[in-house]
Amino acid sequence: MTGMEQHVLVRFYHEIALKGGNRPWFLKHMGANLRRALAGTGVGRIRWNAMMASFPLRDEEQWELVRERLEELIGVERFSRAVSVKPTMEAMKEAMPGLLEGKSAASFRIAARRADKRFPMTSPEINHALGRHVQELTGWPVDLKQAELTLYVQTTEREALLSAESLPGPGGMPVGVGGHVAALLSGGIDSPVAAYQMMRRGCKVTFVHFHSFPLVEGTSREKAEELVELLTHYQQSSRLLLVPFAAAQQRIIVTVPPAYRVAVYRRFMVRIAEALAVKHGAAALVTGDSLGQVSSQTLENLTTIGAAAERLPLFRPLLTMDKGEIVDIARPLGTFPISIIPDQDCCSLFVPKHPVIKSRIQDVERMEAELPVQELVEQALEAVEERVYHWPPAPANREAGEAATAG
């Protein structure tokens, strides 16, 4: 593509566009997230056009950086490198040899879209005219259904962007538009996926991890830190709250029978997480529970555990998914290899092989009546450690901040 100005074209999730009157609000978040995500890449001015953004690209090195960031930016549906020409058929035709340089294909098609409906031709007319031109240039046959190569054309009021690629972003709604939630993050496979699902619905996620260090080694805590560091790529900044849970557990086992300990531990986690959520301004709790996956996740046990939340709703985005479906999300997300590192979960401490399968709230409440519930919650809250993460890392963020104040 020698001699032609290269751009990056970013297309945002279509659901954003469906939000009618909310569109400016959505775009405000998307714009701020995009600028933050591109911090440190040296990208200059970003042009917006409806549900798209584009900006000039300097070179291959910059593309590598930009590409990595856009692949992880929630709200990005697809993106591509494109050449920008005048929005006329003449200019598009002239750009084709450059766009096709070094390419060969068994078949091709043109996929045109118009952002500016004043362009004198309809999309099918553009497809047809440009298709014929490319055919004359190359001799390749057109295949509308299974083309090996698709050439994308996007016209706007001021330019036509032509590209020979279309890369997927994570999709979803820009983080921030969905509010703020607190996710209970274990070191396992499910809870990081649950948190990510909430991010893709536009939620900012604060993470809460319970650990029994020093009763067990600190692996689960380290895994939680690694998971949050990774998940921060998708929401740009995160807070992780590490809650020492051993003291509460040591008190719980004194009077609660073994079969009920997991349920009671979980109810304490919910209470403590709820207090932390309220303190940090989160409006809901999120867990990675999936119905029936393990004995603590029967309908009865989920009900008993969920009932401990008094002020906030508790959401379970993975409720109906099976393990295979969850793993299929965890792998491309990158959390899977961290999640499968062996550790000792705090809920496996002092519990029998066969915990109660159908717990009843009345029974659990009777057991908790013998516990200093409030005191145990407060003790845990006092010992919380906090970690904050940024992506891109801080120096790039500062640069973006300066650019924002300067311009």
Among 296, 301, 335, 359, binds ligand ATP (CB under 6 A): 296
Residue from the set 170, 172, 176, 188 that interacts with Mg ion by CB under 5 A: 188
Q: Which of 289, 315, 330, 380 binds ligand ATP (CB under 6 A)?
A: 289
Stretch that binds ligand ATP, among 11-19, 43-51, 60-68, 285-293 (CB under 6 A): 285-293
Q: Which of residues 210, 260, 268, 389 is near ligand ATP by CB under 6 A?
A: 210
Show the DSSP H helices in 258-360 as ranges: 261-280, 299-306, 323-333, 336-339
Q: How far apart are CA 309 and CA 232, in angstroms?
A: 26
* 206 interacts with, out of ligand ATP, Mg ion, none, CB within 5 to 8 A per kind: none
Binds ligand ATP (CB under 6 A): choice among 163, 191, 238, 304: 191
- Check binding of 186 to ligand ATP (CB under 6 A): yes
Smallest gap from Cβ 17 to ligand ATP, in A, equals 33
What Rg, from alpha-carbon coordinates, does the chain have? 26
184 is a site residue for ligand ATP (CB under 6 A): yes
Distance CA(40)–CA(52), nearest Å, equals 21
Picked from Mg ion, ligand ATP, none, the partner binding residue 276 (CB below 5 to 8 A depending on kind) is none
Which of 74/240 has CB closer to Mg ion?
240
How far lies 134's CA from each of 98, 161, 170, 296, in Å? 12, 16, 32, 61
79 to 3, 13, 82: CA distances (angstroms): 22, 11, 9
Contact 283, 312 (CB under 8 A): yes
The residue among 84 and 296 lying less far from ligand ATP, judged by its C-beta, is 296
| Single residue of 72, 77, 159, 190 touching ligand ATP by CB under 6 A | 190
Taking contact as CB under 5 A, which single stretch among the options 135-143, 178-186, 201-209, 399-407 is the one that binds Mg ion?
178-186
Phi, psi of 205 (to 5 degrees): -115, 130
Pick the binder of ligand ATP from 9, 37, 346, 349 (CB under 6 A): 346
Backbone angles phi, psi at 192, to 5 degrees: -65, -35
Chain position whose Cβ is nearest to ligand ATP: 188
Q: Quick one: three-class SS letters along 56-125? A: ECCCHHHHHHHHHHHHCCCCEEEEEEEEEECCCHHHHHHHHHHHHCCCCCCCEEEEEEECCCCCCCCHHH
Whichever of 6 and 293 has its CB closer to ligand ATP, that residue is 293
**3-class state of residue 138 by DSSP:** helix
* Dihedral sign (CA 35, 27, 199, 67): negative
The residue among 64 and 322 lying less far from ligand ATP, judged by its C-beta, is 322
Among 293, 298, 344, 379, which residue interacts with ligand ATP (rule: CB under 6 A)? Answer: 293
Contact 321, 293 (CB under 8 A): no
User: Quick one: which of 206, 252, 228, 256 has its CA closest to 346?
Assistant: 252
Nearest distance, CB of residue 182 and ligand ATP, angstroms: 10
The only residue of 80, 156, 186, 296 in contact with Mg ion, by rule CB under 5 A = 186
Q: Shortest approach of Mg ion to residue 356 CB, angstroms?
A: 18
Q: Which is nearer to Mg ion, 175 or 189 (CB)?
A: 189
Q: Which amino acid is at 299?
A: L
Ramachandran quadrant class, 270 (left: phi over 0; alpha: psi -120 to 50; beta: rest): alpha
169 is an interface residue for Mg ion by CB under 5 A: no
Residues in contact with ligand ATP by CB under 6 A are: 184-186, 188-191, 208-210, 269, 287-289, 293-294, 296-297, 345-347
